[in-house]
Amino acid sequence: MAVIVTKDLCRSYGSRRGIVDVNLTIEAGEIFGFLGPNGAGKSTTIRVLMGLLGAGAGSAKIFGLDCWSDGPVIRRDVGYVAGDVRLYSWLTARRGLRMLSRIHGRNLLAAGEELAERFRLEPDLPVRKMSRGNRQKVALVLALAHSPSLVILDEPTSGLDPLMQDTLMACLREMAAKGKTVMFSSHTLSEVETLCDHIAIVRDGRIVEDSTLSALKAQAPRQIIVTLQADQNAVSISWPGFVSVKYMPDETNADGPSERIQNSVAALISPSLRKRTCVLELMGSSMVFMQWAATQNFADVVIGPPSLEVLFRRYYETTMETV
């Protein structure tokens, strides 16, 4: 059953672009990753879903109900954390839970305090005395305390330390295991990659990719780092057509790989070998490449996993070029 459905959803801010023809279908029990660079339209989509913004055109539905006109009913079963969390200075986790208990008509104190303990949050500390990370934790506790069927989180890990990020991820996985749906917006690929099983990438307000993680990984290239023997010349090697050569050492780039390639391979190869290193991208199975590489007498070959990072960068860089 689809929990979130948007059809040709559009929303602009006067003459400024917001989102254009956004079509999303998120099924129950999915952890949905909503990826995109800053300003791509992730928050706008979420704000339409939460009934903060009206849709300019198209429709947005949660649980089959219209996000704008049925907002209060929908929000009874939705937990939401905004991208830029701002809370009342007087609010404490416990006060917030009491307030929410009255609004929901059931006692959320026990569930909320359990969450607060899990996130190592002082329940009686007011927001005005909290760090950004702790404010984020309060927002998370208040969003999750009523055990909603759908959780919408807009860049929720910003401000959280790595341990708390892990706690949040574990919490979300547990919720998904119970059949609850999670929509997780982020511009950090790694956290989406480790958490989500369905990913959409938004760029310039449009959905440019909407697929499962496994399907995306099948599309994603693998990065291959080939270290040549001292007497081998990269230019003279006849590289097969199923790989694209991203970098090879020759006279025109005697300083070694570009900064970006250096960054991506730095963890894998030692600096002394970089001038004998070629960086390739492979689409599809690595078996074919391994068979070819076995005939080439290379000093070493490192084949990385399918890299969503490369795929994402491709979308991202296209955005940057059009700006």
Partner 1 sequence: MSGLLQKIWIEVRWPVLWLSLGMCAVMSLLTALLPKVLGNIHQMFDNMPMVKPLLTALLGVDPGDQVSAQLSQAFLWVHPTVLTLLWAHEVMYCSRTPAGEIDRGTADFLLCLPVSRWSIFLSETIGWLVSGLCILTFGYAGHLTASLSVQPAMRLSTSDTMMVMANLGAVYLAVGGFSFLVSAFSDRRGRAIGVVFTTLLASFLLNFLAQFQDLAKAISPWLSVMEYYRPAIIIQTGTFPWSDVIVLLSLASVLWIAAGLVFRSRSICTV
Region of 19-27, 74-82, 195-203, 294-302 interacting with partner 1 (CB under 8 A): 74-82
Confirm or reject binding of residue 28 to partner 1 (CB under 8 A).
no
Determine which residue in the list 57, 64, 88, 129 makes contact with partner 1, applying CB under 8 A: 88
Determine which residue in the list 29, 83, 133, 256 makes contact with partner 1, applying CB under 8 A: 83
Per CB under 8 A, contacts with partner 1 among 6-25 are 13
C-beta closer to partner 1: residue 85 or 280: 85
Residue given tokens 């078996």 in the structure block: 287
Residue given tokens 């030692």 in the structure block: 270
Determine which residue in the list 26, 40, 87, 168 makes contact with partner 1, applying CB under 8 A: 87
Q: Sign of dihedral through CA atoms 146, 31, 138, 85?
A: negative
Determine which residue in the list 82, 189, 224, 293 makes contact with partner 1, applying CB under 8 A: 82
C-beta closer to partner 1: residue 24 or 87: 87
Confirm or reject binding of residue 129 to partner 1 (CB under 8 A).
no
Confirm or reject binding of residue 99 to partner 1 (CB under 8 A).
yes
Region of 102-110, 115-123, 180-188, 283-291 interacting with partner 1 (CB under 8 A): 102-110
Determine which residue in the list 52, 125, 169, 273 makes contact with partner 1, applying CB under 8 A: 52
Distance CA 212, CA 201 (A): 11
Give me 47's structure tokens: 């704000």
Region of 84-92, 159-167, 182-190, 198-206 interacting with partner 1 (CB under 8 A): 84-92
Amino acid at 222: R
The distance of closest approach from Cβ of residue 47 to partner 1 in the complex, given in angstroms and rounded to an integer, is 7
Confirm or reject binding of residue 50 to partner 1 (CB under 8 A).
yes
DSSP code for 179? T
Q: Beta strand 150-154 with 78-81: parallel, antiparallel or unpaired?
A: parallel
Confirm or reject binding of residue 136 to partner 1 (CB under 8 A).
no
Amino acid at 133: G
Residue by residue, DSSP assigns 86-110 as ---TT--HHHHHHHHHHHHTS--HH
Residue by residue, DSSP assigns 193-254 as HHH-SEEEEEETTEEEEEEEHHHHHHHSPEEEEEEPPTT--GGGS---TTEEEEE---GGGT
The distance of closest approach from Cβ of residue 65 to partner 1 in the complex, given in angstroms and rounded to an integer, is 13
b/e sequence 109-145, b meaning 16+ C-beta within 10 Å: eebbbebbebbebebeebbeebeeebbbbbbbbbbbb
The residues binding partner 1 (CB under 8 A) are: 13, 43-44, 47, 50-54, 71-73, 75-76, 78, 80, 82-84, 86-88, 90, 95, 98-104, 139
